[in-house]
Chains A and B, each alone.
Chain A
């Protein structure tokens, strides 16, 4: 270590920068506290007995720590949180997998094959991104009635499964894969189906994980559509807890326990996919 030649520049750089960084660090720390405060307050409230949620002075830390809110909200006759959680997990996983499969299959020929009508179809699909979601809400709801899909998993999974963004994202990535790899596979006797699953897909794992995490979180947190197409025991968790919201208008201890429970799966998904999520977002934005 000591024998290494000293490089003066980074040293002076560092020495000069440290005091200048302190105000920036303080500002960031204060902002971070401000950003964490609502989430902290949610958790803190959820562990307080009802009488303590509005007591003065402010109890930053629950004085009479209790798990009663969680017990009551989980066993409440007003809603079946366990069932809602299963609904959310099932529909989010089913949606994510079907969405990925459809987008992979659609993006592959659009990226790697030449055929008449390819560009026209691609632009047709892409142009659908310009249509605001509200335009299809009412007709889609009526379709659900006519298909008898109200209060079924079908209504939660299928209508949103064919997004244009996924096709666009995967097509861009598939196009960047060198053609030589495909040619080598063809020489080995592989057909397009084999090439897709043995060459293209394994090389696309990062972008597939990105799209998967986005799809999962989008589906988990979806609000407007499930609010109207599913009711009672068929609700998803984030929508279900809002029905507590109208019932326990003053009992915030229970409400905060409910919101905490509804946030845990997506927090876990975030911690797993954090790197991909931010990378994918950065890639998507700087493309523009």
Chain B
């Protein structure tokens, strides 16, 4: 308490550091405690528990869980095991989805933000419309897009056959085509979030630069190319990293739209891991796969950050 009185007598500036809160050294930890219990129990502990599970043979029905070392990890790199075959197949599927969808997701959200950036009649209304699909549950989105792309009776095929007189496409059961509803549905579902991020970033670009460019006679495209795009680089980094991570976690869309078919061609890694755990009861194998996949994601994220920050540094010069 004596500290407080001495603090108030000195000039304001020096009293900014809040030394009075350190009345008891345990007080801050008392505040942290409730969060820390759940954080340590349900986020930190499971990571280590997962390592334990992955090096034992964990069977829900058996009493003992024998230590097996790296066996389940080795299975993923040994040719001929179903684990190695399906893990890498679904890994490639997930990578294809990511490679195709991320440029589409980023590009369309920049385009939409650019269309909506300058004032226009009904702008707030348009923004809400493009944002709205994103609030739907993935299950709603999935069931809806399966219905739209239904082989015979889906709206898309009816339009194709009855109105455009084209042959119908059995989207849900044809390899390759099955990705179309998944990718388009994902664009429809997630575009609003990224668009909002881009709109916010565009608002932070000083208007004076555009006015100067306009006086110099820069076209709309030139303004976008030389002012908007370079000023969005940090937002693009953020959007690309979060979108890639979200794409790697692909689960609900193929689960509900195609059930991973035909012949596992749209099955994602997470779908396969959950199949291994919850349908095959191979929890230890699934835990090992989770770690391998988690590590790949982590390396990829780090690489992406490194790559993009290097580009940023380069373009500044």
Contacts and interface: CB of A to CB of B under 8 A. Distances in A.
Interface string A181-223: 0110011000010000000000000000000000001001101
Contact of B39 (A109, A128, A259): A128
Given A224-B270, A224-B274, A102 B38 contact: yes
A167 B31 CA distance: 12
Contact of A58 (B16, B53, B155, B199): B155
A74 B287 CA distance: 38
A230 to B, nearest CB: 13
B252 interface: yes
A113 B27 contact: yes
Chain B interface bracket (under 10, 10 to 19, 20 to 34, 35 or more): 35 or more
A167 B133 contact: no
Interface in A220-270: 220-221, 223-224, 228, 238-239, 241-242, 245, 252, 255-256, 258-259, 262-263, 266-267, 269-270
A135 B294 contact: yes
B268 to A, nearest CB: 11
A135 B47 contact: yes
A114 B38 contact: no
A138 B120 CA distance: 49
B137 A138 contact: no
Contact of A125 (B16, B39, B135, B142): B39
B277 A138 contact: yes
Contacts of B128: 274
Interface in B111-161: 112, 115-116, 118, 120-122, 125-133, 135-140, 142-148, 150, 152-153, 155, 158-159
B28 A54 contact: no
Interface stretch (B75-83, B84-92, B221-229, B233-241): B233-241
A109 B200 CA distance: 30
Contact of A105 (B34, B193, B251): B34
Contacts of A121: 32
Given A38-B148, A41-B148, A142-B58, A106 B36 contact: yes
Nearest to A246: B259
Contacts of B165: none
Nearest to A222: B137
A274 B124 CA distance: 11
A281 to B, nearest CB: 5
Contacts of A67: none
A138 B283 contact: yes
Nearest to A160: B42
A31 B274 contact: no
Given A35-B133, A58-B162, A221-B136, A132 B297 contact: yes
Given A36-B129, A138-B50, A42 B144 contact: yes
Nearest to A121: B32
A258 B126 CA distance: 27
Interface string A47-59: 0000001101110
Interface of B: 4, 7-8, 12, 15-22, 25, 27-29, 31-32, 34-39, 42-47, 49-50, 52-53, 58, 60, 112, 115-116, 118, 120-122, 125-133, 135-140, 142-148, 150, 152-153, 155, 158-159, 162, 188, 193, 196-197, 199-201, 203-204, 234-235, 237-239, 245, 248-249, 251-252, 256, 269-270, 273-274, 277-278, 283, 286-287, 290-291, 293-294, 297-298, 301
Interface of A: 21, 24-25, 27-28, 31-32, 35-36, 38-39, 41-42, 45, 53-54, 56-58, 101-103, 105-106, 108-110, 112-116, 118, 121, 125, 128, 130-143, 145, 158-162, 164, 167, 179-180, 182-183, 186-187, 192, 217, 220-221, 223-224, 228, 238-239, 241-242, 245, 252, 255-256, 258-259, 262-263, 266-267, 269-270, 274, 278, 281-283, 285-286, 288
